[in-house]
Amino acid sequence: MWDEVSGIGVRLANMSMPLPQPTTEAGAAGLAAILTAPEAAVIGLDFDGTLSPIVADPAAARIHPDAPAVLVALGRLVRAVVIVTGRPVASAIEYGTAPGGLGLSDVPGLVVLGQYGVERWENHAVTAPPPPQGVALVRQALPALVAAFGDRAWVKGVWIEDKGRALAVHTRRSADPQEALAALREPLAELAEEHGLAVEPGRMVIELRSPGVDKGDALLGFLAERSAKSVMFAGDDLGDLPAFAAVRASGLPGLAVCSGSAEVGVLAERADLVVDGPAGVVKLLAALVSTISRHP
């Protein structure tokens, strides 16, 4: 089975493991439904922190090397694999390629819902509305807003990521990331409100982005579109909480998986299953593939 996918598949076969068991009744029912009728299941995944290990420089983030092969195999077994991410879809596709060359774009039928559901990538084509007007003004204002804090120690290393239709203020490389977040939270919220944008807090980041849609809306819409009969969603950050809520609100048997980290506690509290970061997510996906393949 794995050898069909690529050479990487041989390595994956060696790491397949028993399927981790959910700790909640709802999660157990969700997993059972996925295994009973995988062809009716939708598997949703966040990108950063879930498929891609967290690194200091967002431009250096790359998908876990074993993830594409696992997802290619999984994509053949389930109704759909969907990536729901804060990244622009183009970045998720670019950073979603593993060193061997296999990437997210090789996953059969993959859909990427980017920028919290505003953009869509499917069949190598991108659909996206124009950016909200406020983004241009926020782009102009942000450097001065950060610089106004002068020579405070935390200012150095604060970095603004321009995502076209959103701007993300990153503090991971600041001398004091938490202090930076605390100082920036209020002025960024005021700036977002002034220009009609939404504030999205995340792991060492505060984003100013398009309002009106979140990962929960994106996932619910996709489940309806595909007439899903069961769902799994895996995420690691605050922006994934609406997708966890959507798993419950869908009324489908569902499994909410937390890609665990020391940085975000609340997601683990709301999850049916906690795994150990992106490596744990890949192991879970590999175990799903091998379990489904053993019992077609």
**Residues found near ligand L263DTV3 in the complex (CB under 6 A):** 46-49, 54-56, 58, 61, 85-87, 161, 163, 168, 170, 172, 202-205, 207, 237, 239
By beta-carbon proximity to ligand L263DTV3, the closer residue of 162 and 194 is 162
Residue 84 C-beta: closest distance to ligand L263DTV3, Å: 7
Place of tokens 């690691």: 236
By beta-carbon proximity to ligand L263DTV3, the closer residue of 66 and 207 is 207
Residue 19 C-beta: closest distance to ligand L263DTV3, Å: 24
Q: How many Å apart are CA 3 and CA 276, to the nearest integer?
A: 26
Helix (H/G/I), strand (E/B), else coil: 103: strand
Q: How many Å apart are CA 163 and CA 138, to the nearest integer?
A: 12
Q: Pairing between strand 159-162 and 167-170? A: antiparallel
Q: How many Å apart are CA 222 and CA 35, to the nearest integer?
A: 20
Residue 70 C-beta: closest distance to ligand L263DTV3, Å: 17
By beta-carbon proximity to ligand L263DTV3, the closer residue of 73 and 264 is 264
Residue 270 C-beta: closest distance to ligand L263DTV3, Å: 16
By beta-carbon proximity to ligand L263DTV3, the closer residue of 174 and 290 is 174
Q: How many Å apart are CA 1 and CA 233, to the nearest integer?
A: 24
Nearest to 207 by CA among 166, 244, 178: 166
Residue 54 C-beta: closest distance to ligand L263DTV3, Å: 4
How many other CB atoms sit within 10 Å of the CB of residue 81? 24
Residue 235 C-beta: closest distance to ligand L263DTV3, Å: 7
CB 146 within 8 A of CB 169: yes
Q: Pairing between strand 273-275 and 254-259? A: parallel
Residue 21 C-beta: closest distance to ligand L263DTV3, Å: 25
Q: How many Å apart are CA 47 and CA 58, to the nearest integer?
A: 12
CB 95 within 8 A of CB 63: yes
CB 128 within 8 A of CB 119: yes
By beta-carbon proximity to ligand L263DTV3, the closer residue of 33 and 246 is 246
